[in-house]
Structure 1
């Protein structure tokens, strides 16, 4: 399988560094839209059927593979099919933007206590969402997400809810994270960029690849830029989407959705022997 070539000099340098010293490379991956297709019901968003075999082939050849997601870690593990897979013993899932951590070696999730603002906004949301066509996704008591994909006019519902949800979040010490027809209310202080940088430091990474598809992945893209500026080469991959163009503009390499991400992972594993 041919390994796709980044289109930018920085991305080309990042790929060269990864291939030259894979045992010091971190592979960071979003889940929804990157490893799993976007679907109307997030509970039915399962990893691409070839994702786990591709990850199992690649993971033993690099320093770390980290799935960094806004989902609860346990949900990503379940929907990804990551538990007890030979080859994935060193996989890490950083859930809730890094607030939760699941390690394949132990099968355990570690996390701080939930922010009290999450329960407060959860109590108010049913009344606020009544008649909008939006629906609520629970995220283990650590965040809540409002989806408009099922509304009669998903984009109009999304835009109409942004202001009220921002006010509700602010009153309860939370922030709103917009995504692909979803608005997530969660505690401040953690994002995918913070999680990626912390994980890269933990394993003394000398190169970093991050693949994402949505606005919540932009902090991770910025983290890779910061690592590059500090001397750690990086590769930014966009799991292509017509709904979000910001990542595509900043990426070193654009692939065709989760199938393209899986193809990239397989090609990397093959190149590394």
Structure 2
């Protein structure tokens, strides 16, 4: 595999097509890239290229399994990694469609790539989010894949790392558009302590963080906290359905939490885009569908930060 050996996972392919990492030779579609690339090609990596009309934006994400940790599979991609990446893929497709319909952008493209597994050098670093992302950043710099306009998602496998928790996005690499963004979804923790639905939601959750700003959040909810864009809905008595941005925060601060370990920091239920409360909750469900609040705020960010255009 030449260069970084990435595989493009664009639209126009059904999930079953990803049963193995394979090379395709289809031309790029309007929505996504479906070709293997060596490093990054100019057409796929460019974002926010303004036109005389409304401009265009590209949502570009690369996923990397953590090497030498947890399950392995073809080219280092185990089923758990693939499920998480495909959940992100579906979210990107939805976000591109919604951003195009909600803003003046002429087109919003998306591109998801599978990167080579990443071995982290933690010999002189703590297992904190900053330590993990510093090691991740070092690998990306060595591979020369930083473009200034891509979200790099590490699918970590560290189920016992309480310092890392479910993952996160470091302040130094927080937003796509202000350089590359780095983010970590600790799927080793979600697969060990929770379930596949939580894994999918946390992978989406961490990616979406990189396409939001405080201003874009505040334009939608009376808050500057990304998590407040999420929704927690009562779908039947005693049952709450949790969207990706609310995952790990739906029951935070109470004795009834939607994940094994509750998120800390911002995420006050009264500030959520929609929250039906935690009274008498008997069961939690997790949906990969992005909440209306998340779609609105992310669309705002894409138009203003990547498309150079007011929504």
TM range (shorter): under 0.3
Higher relative contact order (CA 8 A, sep 6+): 1
TM-score (norm 2): 0.25
Q: Which has the higher helix share?
A: 1
